Structure 1
Amino acid sequence: MDDDTVIRALYDKYRRPLYGYVLRSVGGDRQYAEDIVQETMARAWSHASELDPDRAGRWLFTVARNLVISGHRKQAARVTEVPIDDREFAALGDDIDHVLQVWQVIEVMRGLSHDHRQVIVELFYKRRTVNEAAVVLGVPPGTVKSRSYYALHALRAALEERGVTGS
């Protein structure tokens, strides 16, 4: 896929969610939000050969987040008499950090075996009991327990490798 095709695909897929995220992050300043999105896409263009449009969301949101934070820092340096409210600045990181962690969990889940992934989905996403999951999966409850044990260990190890820690 050539660079122009990659950028068009990124723009079509991520422009609106990226704009919405940035708009909330900059307090509703539409022009500034559009500038951030455009700068994010310009940086994506310079890395187009490395980006896969189906998996570039985390990268794009991280770039946008860093641009917003950088903008806040520049503004704080210029206007010293009006400090940034700490609660507002902390909330900025909370949303995107959560989104990034979810994407990382999804990627790690794809790397689990089919059986382990099924057990995790049944127990933790569908909130079934061990016995309910056993019935749905057609295996004994002991197998569900064993698979969940090994699946959680594999999931935890893969997430730790990526620097994602539980909070």
Structure 2
Amino acid sequence: MPSRCAINETHTALLQAVHDQHAPALWRYVRRLTGDDQLAQDVVQESLLRLWNSPSVLDQGEPASRAWLFTVARNVVIDERRSARSRREVPSCVPEVTRSDPIDSALDAWVITDVLTQLTEDHRTVIVRAYYMGQSVAELAEELEVPEGTVRSRLFYGLRALRLALQERGLTRR
């Protein structure tokens, strides 16, 4: 009687041969059924896993294992379509990447610069350094020689004034 290890090696070799010979055709078949590359790959993988778990099918020979594999793949596709997950999921469309218009960017920068000039110097300084230069509240407090609470307060009131100025120009929602 052959050892378990020898049976497993034989089984693995047979499965590898079936995969090499039939996986591309199986993927094309499932791709036609589903219209989805990723789902087709998942179905092929599931079908091969089921074949791995049914070693008796491999012992029946090449034509039988091919037919069994294609039948299993078809059934997996049907099960997927009938599943509750499939009915609940809404296919998502990836939105097209919008490219920003350089004119829009220039106008936005111009408006922001104009509005920033209307703020007090203290508010403008903390906003520009925090949001444009990436400085932390602690760094700002140290450089401006004021407490961190003062920096936070200037940021809060400065951003509020900035938002109000943009609203007055009709550029943000109220």
**Range of TM-score over shorter length:** 0.3 to 0.5
- The TM-score with structure 2 as length reference comes to 0.42
Q: TM-score, normalised by structure 1?
A: 0.43
Give the greater-gyration-radius structure (CA): 2
Give the structure, 1 or 2, with the largest relative contact order (CA under 8 Å, sep 6 or more). Answer: 1
